[in-house]
């Protein structure tokens, strides 16, 4: 592991631009369930029922109950050392850093990350089916069938469901970040959901030599084949370890 961390730190030292793709695993140590684990979010629910437009059309109250329970869970948790290490990485690279997240929990921003692209939307936002207004509602308690305070239309969670397109501008920016980076860190994702996972081959192939892919996960995944370096362990430990190797001075200062 130490050798892999050192190689990963070396790749970061040589990098001009860095992009990060995160998934549910980065929030697992905060207490937010992942999706595909045996006790994961999809275990007790059929994806078609709670995470598709047809499921919402069929039973909006069930869908809102599911998302309100997720909102209530996120209201009880805080960012973990993995999120905080990514804040430090952004401080190191400044505007040459982009964090692309599949997570809708908002914990990266809560930790202090600034340049965050939420490609799957946000649990903290609603979207009106009538006037299309997107509103930041934080984690306040919402009804099981909330309506728009402006036009009275039905609200839905501002989440990208299965069979839906990603928000165009955010997804374009994410592809640019992947295409331009020298290092792509892939953290806590099973890399099974597209198009998010396509950022990995984009980073690997669109430049002359391709970016270095560093995977941080508990176990190898669908992304491992394309990874140049694997840091296997909880990201709340591996990411701070990587930051310490990248910048030993600040590690000493922060102790």
Catalytic residue annotation: 120
Closest C-alpha among 126, 154, 131 to residue 141:
126
Which listed residue (8, 20, 35, 118) binds ligand APR by CB under 6 A?
35
User: Does 193 interact with ligand APR (rule: CB under 6 A)?
Assistant: yes
Residue 30 exposed, middle or buried by CB count within 10 Å (0-12, 13-18, 19+): buried
| Count of positions on this chain that bind ligand APR (CB under 6 A) | 22
Q: Where are the beta strands (DSSP E) in the chain?
A: 18-22, 97-101, 116-118, 121-128, 134-136, 155-159, 183-187, 212-217, 229-232
Is the four-CA dihedral 43, 45, 46, 47 of positive or negative sign? negative
Whether the bond into 195 is cis, omega within 30 of 0: yes
- Residue 86 near residue 20, CB atoms below 8 Å: yes
Least separation in angstroms between residue 119's CB and ligand APR is 8
Kindly write out the interface string for residues 195-234 of this chain, putting x where it contacts ligand APR by CB under 6 A and - elsewhere.
----------------------xxx-x------------x
Q: Is 142 in the site for ligand APR (CB under 6 A)?
A: no
Nearest to ligand APR of 117, 148 (CB atom): 117
| Smallest separation, CB 234 to ligand APR (Å) | 4
Interface residue with ligand APR, options 25, 81, 106, 240 (CB under 6 A): 25
Among 6, 10, 40, 91, binds ligand APR (CB under 6 A): 40
Residues that bind ligand APR (CB under 6 A): 23-25, 28-29, 34-36, 40, 102, 120, 188-190, 192-193, 217-219, 221, 234-235
């Amino acid at each position: 592991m130490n050798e892999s961390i050192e190689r990963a730190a070396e790749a970061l030292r040589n990098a001009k631009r860095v992009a990060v793709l995160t998934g549910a695993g980065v929030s697992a140590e905060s207490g937010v369930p992942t999706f595909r684990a045996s006790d994961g979010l999809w275990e007790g629910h059929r994806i078609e029922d709670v995470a598709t437009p047809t499921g919402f059309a069929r039973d909006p109250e069930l869908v809102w109950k599911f998302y309100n329970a997720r909102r209530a869970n996120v209201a009880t948790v805080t960012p973990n050392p993995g999120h905080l290490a990514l804040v430090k990485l952004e401080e190191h690279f400044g505007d040459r850093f982009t964090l692309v997240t599949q997570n809708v929990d908002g914990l990266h921003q809560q930790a202090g990350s600034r340049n965050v692209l939420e490609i799957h939307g946000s649990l903290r936002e609603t979207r009106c089916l009538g006037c299309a207004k997107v509103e930041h509602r934080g984690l306040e308690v919402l009804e099981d069938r909330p309506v728009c305070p402006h036009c009275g239309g039905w609200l839905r969670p501002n989440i990208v469901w299965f069979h839906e397109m990603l928000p165009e501008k955010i997804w374009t920016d994410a592809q640019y970040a992947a295409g331009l980076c020298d290092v792509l860190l892939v953290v806590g994702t099973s890399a099974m959901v597209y198009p998010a996972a396509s950022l990995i081959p984009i980073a690997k192939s669109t430049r002359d030599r391709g970016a270095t892919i560093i995977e941080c996960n508990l176990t190898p995944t669908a992304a491992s084949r394309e990874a140049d370096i694997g840091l296997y362990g909880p990201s709340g430990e591996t990411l701070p370890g990587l930051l310490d190797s990248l910048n030993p001075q600040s590690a000493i200062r922060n102790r």
